[in-house]
Chain A
Amino acid sequence: MKNIVNEKIKNNYIGIPRAISYYNNYPFYYGFFKGLGFDILLSDKTTTKLINEGSQHVVSDTCLPIKVFVGHVVNLLEKGCDKIFIPSLQSTAYKVNNCTKIRGLPEIIRNVINKPFKMIEPTLDKTNNISFKDFCYDTAHQLDVFDEEKINLAIKSGWEFYNKFQQMALVGVPFEEAVKNAIENKVVSKPIEIVRPLSVVIMAHGYNLFDERISMNLIKKLDKMGVKAYTGLNVSRQDAINSIQELGEIQYWANELDLTGAAAYYMLNKKVDGIIALSAFGCGPDSLMVDEIQYHASERNLPTMYLTIDEHTGEAGFVTRVEAFVDMLIRRKRKKLQESNIKTLSTSKKEKIGYLEKEDKALTKV
């Protein structure tokens, strides 16, 4: 049985590691590679073993997501995959660059892993005029597909899948479900929402937040505590860009929209009671973006919590911190409500009289 799979893999399978850009673009990749006539082999979900395997290959200063990425590549190689898709996403707009490690993913993998395999390594660099179309063409050419019409159709189908995913993500369908349905070419409507007393926005990269091992299921944990968690997926691109501008900041990082954008959007619209920042230890961009948001949040009197994770983070300490933060939010909200109740009762005299009159009428009716 295994042999058959291996035989198939060698012919037209392409491996995609379940890390980094998977969490932003997978529906597009799915449609695109299907359109080109390739099947997709995903690596397993992140486990502790996989992280350990990844960290054996890189130096200890490397951040957790990269260690996880290397682990996924090793996992794919163990499965017998010999074509792996590792894009280098340099910049997504003019002078809006990605983190150096994400830009250099193919370079890291090339030098760190000694096994022979074919790496599909297209570059997206809009600062230097390498557009998204060039990126797709490059990918196809590296896979020996040169038929222009076929590539264009593949791009189109990729966008179709991606748009469906986006549509679902914006109304609040959880990530896993949205991806699953988008791939099956379905659009599910918004899940029935239980009204929750509290809501927070989590500012984190998709690859940290939606990876259940890295984020330790933060969203579900918050859900159990009765807190609704918004993420970067729930904010449209334009909204995120606008809110960053409204804060008076300049977008500098490519994935800033997921973090600052989302947090700024909810902060400006006063939809949330607090902000939780989740980032990997030693993450360069995050240290700046979280600081930025903390600055603006403290001006608006909004509590923030900065959770740092690495491969040694214990779940117990993590949960305690989240619980303490949620407790604090509850107390804050209760106090606020109490204060506002008092205010409505004893504002100006007229209002007070009106209120009493209403009460009188109510009493007379009884």
Chain B
Amino acid sequence: MGSVLNAEKQREEQKNRFFQKDNTIATKDRIVAWPRMGNIDLSMVALVSSLGVKIVEAPPNSNEALEIGVKNSIEGICLPYKLNLANYIMALEKGANTLMMFQAPGSCRFGNYTKMAQKTLKKMGYKFDMVVFDMYQSKMKQTLQAFWHVTKCANPYRYYKGFSTGFNKAFAIDTAERLLFYTRPRELNKGEAERCYKKWYKIISETTSIWGCKQLKKKIIKDFKKIPIDKNKIVPKVYLLGEFFVLLDPYTNKDIEKTLGDLGVEVERQIFFSDWLEHVLQPSFLYKKESHRERCVRFAEKYMKRAIGGETIETVGDTVYAAQNGIDGVIHIMPFSCMPEIVSQNILTRVSREEDIPAMTLVLDEQTGKAGYQTRIEAFIDLVKRKKMKENLGSKNKREEVLS
């Protein structure tokens, strides 16, 4: 035990030496930026700005950003890194001087992102201060330390305000997204749910007060309920799972939820940002119910006996969960050459066969074309619908409904 603590200390020292904290930048001169991932911006803006630091938002992920990332990173690295690096570069060009990023050693190549990015950016001649915090063990402490280093804010009320608004915004946007997934295939007037979501996205990003943020969730639910839907329509349900970044970033996954929703499929996504944040930042003795990960470990027991890093066990566990809870199909998405997800792809073949659930793997990289991707999804959805139809063979009406 003592030796482990010792090793921990040594490694911490080593890390600190590598990511030398730059104290020369005065707090008021700091301009903070972070890599983009889906809706992470809403909460981060709320948190960092309430701590009293200036912010630069990197432009959203796009083809242009990806090009910059590909140009400056090595060939063999995975897609999320390329986008992260592009975000850093674009933010630095806009005048940022402090980059914040979390890392998780022990997962996969992800733990090495910050180290590589720092080296690449220094080589390119940028001057900046990189603030890194581990999301692996003693996470809350490290997170607070990182924010303290950046903001030097000692006012507990501000921390409370930042974390409270940040969390509530994350919850609100995820509620909106969940309702969007439910409403989109069922809505009577096409496009209404999408419009409603966009409206609320804007409102969420503009709300600043603590009380206002707390009310958001309720208001969103009320508003979505107003959209007229066909409640009796039988909608096939597809579970979306795979690599964390690709799932949460709509540019990278080519907005797969929308594609599926327009095909008349209800999507259930494996992970939402707020769920993950809640799980990661909460101390483990405060867990009230079974966490997502614990549930996955329980369901994956037949196929896997140990967690092996990355999201492998989540992918496998959720597939089994989906099969046993009446979900019609599973779409597994991952970036090209993702190490943990290749293992889960190998395992999914057997899970799909034994649990009798259709599963498809989509591999994404910078050369993914939308057309070929669309064809594969359509073919898969046809398969899922046909399977659902067979199950509902008893009633003729239902059969027609499913096929429509």
A residues at B contact (CB < 8 Å)? 58-59, 61-63, 88, 90-91, 93-95, 97, 99-101, 103-104, 106-108, 110-112, 121, 123, 126-127, 129, 245, 248-250, 252, 282-288, 291, 295
Contact = CB atoms under 8 A, between A and B. Distances in A.
Contact of A129 (B1, B108, B343, B346): B1
Given A94-B11, A283-B76, A101 B342 contact: yes
A349 B332 CA distance: 75
B324 interface: no
Contact of A111 (B8, B76, B308, B346): B346
Contact of A252 (B8, B77, B112): B112
B77 A104 contact: no
A307 to B, nearest CB: 13
Interface stretch (B209-217, B299-307, B381-389): B299-307
A95 B346 contact: no
Given A61-B336, A95-B7, A100-B108, 11 more contacts: A61-B363, A62-B342, A63-B342, A95-B11, A97-B105, A107-B305, A121-B305, A129-B4, A250-B14, A252-B112, A287-B76
Contacts of A88: 306, 308
B109 to A, nearest CB: 5
20 contacts: A61-B336, A90-B306, A91-B106, A93-B7, A95-B105, A97-B105, A97-B111, A103-B308, A104-B343, A108-B343, A108-B346, A110-B303, A110-B304, A121-B305, A127-B106, A248-B18, A284-B108, A285-B109, A288-B77, A295-B123
Nearest first, the 10 closest Cβ-Cβ pairs linking A and B are: A287-B76, A94-B7, A104-B308, A103-B308, A100-B339, A284-B339, A111-B347, A111-B350, A100-B340, A291-B74
B345 A61 contact: yes
A282 B337 contact: yes
Contacts of A95: 7-8, 11, 105-106, 136
Contacts of B340: 100, 104
B116 interface: yes
B288 interface: no
Nearest to B81: A288
Given A93-B7, A97-B106, A250-B115, A107 B309 contact: no
A110 B343 CA distance: 12
Contact of A108 (B105, B108, B347, B361): B347
A103 B309 contact: yes
Contacts of B347: 107-108, 111
Given A100-B108, A107-B303, A250-B15, A94 B8 contact: yes
Interface string B328-362: 00000000110110110111011100000000010
Interface string B302-322: 011110111010000000000
Contacts, number: 128
Contacts of B289: none
B75 interface: yes
B226 interface: no
A268 B68 CA distance: 33
A207 to B, nearest CB: 16
B346 A97 contact: no
B337 A61 contact: yes
A106 B337 CA distance: 20
A295 B312 contact: no
Contacts of B363: 61
Interface in B259-306: 303-306
A91 B308 CA distance: 10
Nearest to A98: B309
A248 B8 CA distance: 18
B106 A106 contact: no
Nearest to A94: B7
Nearest to A253: B112
Residue of A63, A100, A121, A282 with most chain B CB atoms under a 10 A cut-off: A100
A84 to B, nearest CB: 16
Nearest to B310: A100
A35 to B, nearest CB: 26
B119 interface: yes
A59 B346 contact: yes
B343 A107 contact: yes
B102 to A, nearest CB: 15
A336 to B, nearest CB: 26
Nearest to B18: A250
B55 to A, nearest CB: 29
A249 B112 CA distance: 11
A232 B379 CA distance: 49
Nearest to B17: A248
Contacts of A250: 11, 14-15, 18, 115
Nearest to B351: A111
Given A94-B8, A100-B343, A295 B119 contact: yes
Contacts of B306: 88, 90, 103-104, 106-107, 123
A283 B339 CA distance: 8
A286 B112 CA distance: 12
Nearest to B134: A95
Contacts of A121: 305
B343 to A, nearest CB: 5
Contact of A287 (B8, B75, B123, B361): B75
A117 B346 CA distance: 19
B88 to A, nearest CB: 17
A145 to B, nearest CB: 21
Nearest to A284: B339
A250 B19 CA distance: 11
B257 to A, nearest CB: 24
A219 B361 CA distance: 39
Contacts of A93: 7
A59 B75 CA distance: 22
Given A59-B342, A111-B303, A252 B111 contact: yes
Contacts of B1: 129
A161 B305 CA distance: 31
Contacts of A97: 105-106, 111, 309
B365 to A, nearest CB: 11
Contacts of B105: 95, 97, 252
B342 A61 contact: yes
A59 B309 contact: no
A291 B74 CA distance: 7
Given A112-B350, A295-B119, A106 B76 contact: no
B228 to A, nearest CB: 44
A76 to B, nearest CB: 19
Nearest to B19: A250
